[in-house]
Structure 1
Amino acid sequence: MWRVRVDGACIGSGSCVGVAPGHFALGSDNRSRPLSDEIEPDEAILDAVASCPVEAITIEDADTGEPVEP
């Protein structure tokens, strides 16, 4: 399992929502939020990390805490 986080650097570009709509949504503050804290590994999440213009998304292994991306 992966743990997905979006930090305060998020500018609400929505690129992650466009790339991985089943995993991210924009909140009322127009900033991205993961729809679930832990997910099965998914290539769409890696694409969302790569598409974030401010590198606000991080992924870590839920068991070990080791970074998956970036």
Structure 2
Amino acid sequence: MAGERWAVTVDKRACVRTGLCAASAPDRFTLDERGQGQARDEVVGASEEVLEVAESCPIEAISIVDASTGKSVFPPES
């Protein structure tokens, strides 16, 4: 995971505005003017914190892909 860069996105159509992402990792996620979650940065350093937030989203609205390969980190590919 060290040195990896991840592209993080929040699906605005799926987000149900629980605010869990912003409350759990305020340095990584914020809420927009409609109360929907969004990543503070499009590309971030890989971290357990970001992965845990994505995994805890009740509807899996957060997607993470490896920024250099495009391979899905979360949700895992089936």
Q: Same fold (TM over 0.5)?
A: yes
- Correspondent of 2:57 among 52, 60, 64: 52
Q: 1:21 aligns with which of 26, 34, 40?
A: 26
> Structure 1: which 5+ residue stretches go unaligned?
none
User: Structure 2-normalised TM-score?
Assistant: 0.86
Displacement of 1:30 in angstroms is: 0.7
Contact 1:19-1:47 within 8 A present in 2 as well: no
C-alpha deviation, 1:64, in angstroms: 0.6
TM-score by length of 1: 0.95
Q: Pairwise CA RMSD of aligned residues? A: 0.7
Structure 2 segments unaligned to the other structure (5+ residues): none
Report the Cα offset of residue 25 of structure 1.
0.4
Q: Deviations over 1:42-67 (max 9, x none)?
A: 11101111110111000000011000
Q: Are the equivalent residues in 2 in contact too, given 1:6–1:57 (CA < 8 A)?
A: yes
What is the SS of the residue equivalent to 1:44?
Answer: helix
Does the residue aligned with 1:11 lie in a helix, a strand or coil?
Answer: coil
Tell me the SS of whatever aligns to 2:63: strand
Moved over 3 A (4+): none
